[in-house]
Amino acid sequence: MTQREHWGSKVGFIFATAGSAIGLGSLWRFPYITGQNGGGAFVLLYILFTALIAIPVFVAELVMGRKSQKSAVLAFSNLSNQSEKWRLVGWFNILTSFLILSYYSVISGWSVNYTLMSLSQFTEGKSPEDIRNVFEILYRSGDINVFWLFIFVLLTVGVVFGGVRKGIEYWSKILTPALLIILICLFIYSTTLPGFGEAVKFILYPDFSKLTSKGILEALGMSFFTLSVGLGIVLTYGSYLKSDDNLPATGLIIGSVSVLVSLVASLMIFPVIFTFGLEPEMGTGLVFQTLPVLFDQLPGTLVLSTVFFVLFVFTTLTSAISMMEVLVANMMEIFFWNRKKSVLIAALGVFIMGIPTALAGSGSLFGNWKEMYGTDFFGTLSSLTGDWMMPVGGLLTAIFVGWVMGKQLISEQFLMGTKMKKILPLWLFLLRYIAPIGVFIVILQTGNIINISALTQWAKGLISW
Ligand code: PHE
């Protein structure tokens, strides 16, 4: 049995985890879902859910990982005296990771495609409307999507082959800071656009009348999605930690960074929308439709646009790597396969599972899906995993760590390596009560089992008062 790998440095771990957190969630999903949900009130809820539920569960996953030194399936099983039921929760984590990675790779493929299109200066001489339409064409082109899906899966394989230190940690340390720098530069430019004021109002002014019960579930799902919580990733990364790492500080840092990146990304994208008369609720293509319009206005379009999309690919890569690592780490532990074999099998599975998503826009597979389920296959998969499976996974993790592992044991793990002793009771409270009850209520509301619109009314009254 080979020894378990560990992170080479604390900074490396932080960047790898931040790399997993920062990705399509903040840059692609957050802006368009915010647009569809009317802005401010949704953003406020997302921040609340992140602080009160997602970060405590994030720390809980780190606790599980570091204590067990195993990935999801064996962690749940070993820490519960080999309970079969809890072991299944580990498998549920793997399934969620697998499904998300399949469509995540398709969207990431779009960004590889946009890199190439940037090099061929596809925006030249086009109106904002025409630039926007290029995305629609891409979405309908099944064969091109399958091709880029394949290329992206290959890229992921390349990094995960290298293992924890030489693959994941090495690349995250370079790519994550580079993306942050370019993001900040673009944000600064966006502040000079005439639509900036309107964008700030849209994102920061909470109008609760625009919030629907679906929006509430989406805000919860969003807070889990951007933090990569509820599918065993943080758990797996935590299992490569040593005893002197600071778990609560990691939770707070990564939580703040991902909220901040989501906000900055939105404040970069929405001014473009309001300046050029595009629609905030445009949907999945939002980033790909607005940013090229922005780049087209700037000097050095070719370089700027190419560099941005290269970094965009990298940031999705660091997230995809983390999902692939969950699959690989579990397979290595459960079936005793080596890393290479596990990576190849996982990658093949992800590629095959990604095909229906890649073909969703073309209608060449599951042509009647939309009529039956309301959205295309991609939409169904994205909402099933992001809005339901991740919150349920997070709920089960909160219950497991908060109630099954034992207060003494988790408190010891929490305190090991940190000076933030005072927040232990707060964490225990949030993890054992607020997180499970909160997620449960949101799920009941969305399933129409209870109705909290009265509560929204009340909040509205409170604010106008
Ligand atoms: N947190 C990542 C992002 O924001 C997405 C992700 C979700 C990554 C789940 C891993 C697991 O893009």
Q: Is 69 helix (H, G, I), strand (E, B) or coil?
A: coil
Residue 290's pLDDT is 85
Query: Tokens representing 444?
Result: 């009941």
- Residue closest via CA to ligand 1's atom 9 equals 228
Q: How far, CA to CA in Å, does 168 sit from each of 173, 322, 323, 403?
A: 9, 8, 12, 33
Query: Tokens representing 236?
Result: 């797996």
- Residue closest via CA to ligand 1's atom 6 equals 228
Give 29's contacts (C-beta < 8 A, 6+ positions apart).
222, 225, 226, 386
Residues of the chain with pLDDT under 50: 1
Cα(315) to centroid of ligand 1, in Å? 10
235 lines ligand 1 (CB under 6 A): no
Cα(316) to centroid of ligand 1, in Å? 8
Query: Tokens representing 312?
Result: 């965009």
Alpha-carbon distance of 141 to 362, in angstroms, equals 6
DSSP 423: G
Q: Which of 17, 24, 233 to mutate to test the pocket of ligand 1 (most atoms within 8 A of CB)?
A: 24
From the CB of residue 242, how many other CB atoms can be counted at a distance below 10 Å? 13
Q: How far is CA 460 from its chain centroid?
A: 30
- Residue closest via CA to ligand 1's atom 4 equals 25
Residue 212, burial from CB neighbour count under 10 angstroms (0-12, 13-18, 19+): middle
Q: What is the largest CA-CA distance in the chain?
A: 66
327 lines ligand 1 (CB under 6 A): no
From the CB of residue 336, how many other CB atoms can be counted at a distance below 10 Å? 9
Q: Which tens digit of pLDDT belongs to each residue from 392-451?
A: 999 999 999 999 998 999 999 999 989 899 999 999 999 999 999 999 988 887 776 766
Helix or strand holding residue 465 (H, E): none
Alpha-carbon distance of 318 to 340, in angstroms, equals 19
Helix or strand holding residue 448 (H, E): none
Residue 465's pLDDT is 61
Alpha-carbon distance of 287 to 31, in angstroms, equals 8
- Is residue 288 within 8 Å of residue 135, measured between CB atoms? yes
Cα(104) to centroid of ligand 1, in Å? 9
Q: How far is CA 200 from its chain centroid?
A: 23
User: Which atom, in ligand 1's list, is nearest to the CA of 319?
Assistant: 8
Residue 154's pLDDT is 95
233 lines ligand 1 (CB under 6 A): yes
Alpha-carbon distance of 113 to 304, in angstroms, equals 16
Q: Which of 152, 224, 228 to mutate to test the pocket of ligand 1 (most atoms within 8 A of CB)?
A: 228
Give me the count of residues in the chain: 465
Residue 1's pLDDT is 46
Cα(45) to centroid of ligand 1, in Å? 19
Cα(415) to centroid of ligand 1, in Å? 27
Cα(365) to centroid of ligand 1, in Å? 27
First to last CA, the chain: 65
216 lines ligand 1 (CB under 6 A): no
159 lines ligand 1 (CB under 6 A): no
Query: Tokens representing 57?
Result: 């569960």
Alpha-carbon distance of 23 to 265, in angstroms, equals 11
Residue 450, burial from CB neighbour count under 10 angstroms (0-12, 13-18, 19+): middle
103 lines ligand 1 (CB under 6 A): no
Instruction: Spell out the alpha helix ranges (H) of 191-300.
Output: 196-204, 213-227, 233-238, 247-275, 286-297
The backbone region for 337, taken as left when phi is positive above 0, alpha when psi lies in -120 to 50, beta otherwise, is: beta
Residue 17, burial from CB neighbour count under 10 angstroms (0-12, 13-18, 19+): buried
Residue 139 main-chain phi, psi, to 5 deg:
-60, -35
Give 102's contacts (C-beta < 8 A, 6+ positions apart).
350, 353, 354, 357, 381
Query: Tokens representing 107?
Result: 């969207």
Q: Which tens digit of pLDDT belongs to each residue from 297-341?
A: 888 889 889 988 988 898 898 889 889 988 998 999 999 999 899
- Is residue 324 within 8 Å of residue 346, measured between CB atoms? yes
DSSP 337: -
